[in-house]
Amino acid sequence: MLGVTVPLDLFLASTSPRRSALLQQAGLRFALCEPGAEYAPGAGDEHRSQQGDPLALAVERARRKGAGASAPDPTVPVLAVDTVVDLDGTELGKPRDREHAEQMLRRLSGRLHRVHTAHYLRQPSTGRSLERAASAVVACGPLDAARLERYLDSGQWRGKAGSYGVQDDAQDSFHVIDGSHDTVVGLHVPAVLALLAAIREPL
């Protein structure tokens, strides 16, 4: 009906176009809001691998981004998400530049690694918050010189944890072998749906 405003399912506290696309594909109604600070003061930045368990780091960052987000309507839940690449218990952050990306890709070449995506959902009007994480195992085939150069030349590695996107059309070496593809892209839709259902339940 004309003039009827459809209520939002959530605010997404993220600047990632990939996360927005996944929510759109799932048919969720959302708007964007500014996330809170991802890193505690003095704790580093996205281009450095932080010390500690990669999954725990993802959970902590998602919590900070969600707790510090400012949404215009307190009745609508706020979702924050963080994704980390975990190589043998060590986080691989986002690349500073091409050389840094090449270093990380060479470390991943021919090996298995894990990707963890942490989701934090907060209901501002009540202060209630819920968390859920999803993990997947990714295999990277051997990256020969031609494959590596082609992907680096594409620039698609920019701004991505571990210096790659499993969905990128310039690469054919990364494949999800256990877990969900969307977890590796950066948001696990079933986890979000479960959180939304749970936060709507009366206490």
71-121: pLDDT as tens digits: 999 999 999 999 999 999 999 999 999 999 999 999 999 999 999 999 999
Helices (H) and strands (E) in the chain, counts: 6, 7
CATH of 10-200 given 2.60.40.10, 3.90.950.10, 3.40.50.2300, 3.40.30.10:
3.90.950.10
Q: What's the pLDDT at 126?
A: 93
Lowest mean pLDDT among 2-6, 10-14, 142-146: 2-6
Q: Is residue 23 within 8 Å of 44, Cβ to Cβ?
A: no
**Is the pLDDT score of 43 beyond 70?**
no
Could you tell me which of 83, 80, 91, 86 has the C-alpha nearest to residue 119?
Answer: 80
Nearest to 121 by CA among 72, 192, 68: 192
Dihedral, 64, 68, 166, 45 alpha carbons, nearest 10 = -60
pLDDT at position 202 is: 79
CB 91 within 8 A of CB 85: yes
Q: How confident is the model at residue 39 (pLDDT cuts 50, 70, 90)?
A: confident
The predicted pLDDT at position 1 comes to: 41
pLDDT > 90 fraction of the chain, expressed in percent and rounded: 85
pLDDT of residue 45: 67
| Helices within the chain (DSSP H only) | 17-25, 54-67, 98-108, 145-154, 181-185, 189-200
Question: How high is the pLDDT of residue 101?
Answer: 97
Q: Is 80 exposed, middle or buried (0-12, 13-18, 19+ CB in 10 A)?
A: buried
Mean pLDDT of 171-176: 97
Per DSSP, the three-state class of 199 is: helix
The pLDDT-based confidence of 4 (bands split at 50, 70, 90) is low
Mean pLDDT of the chain: 93
Distance, CA of 88 to CA of 194 (rounded, Å) = 29
pLDDT at 50: 73
- Does residue 40 carry a pLDDT above 80? no
Q: What is the DSSP string of 166-184?
A: TT-TT--SEEEEES-HHHH
Among 172, 11, 14, 128, residue whose Cα is nearest residue 82? 14
Q: What percent of the chain has pLDDT over 70?
A: 93
pTM across the whole model:
0.92
Residue-range domain boundaries for the chain: 10-200
* Catalytic machinery residues: 82
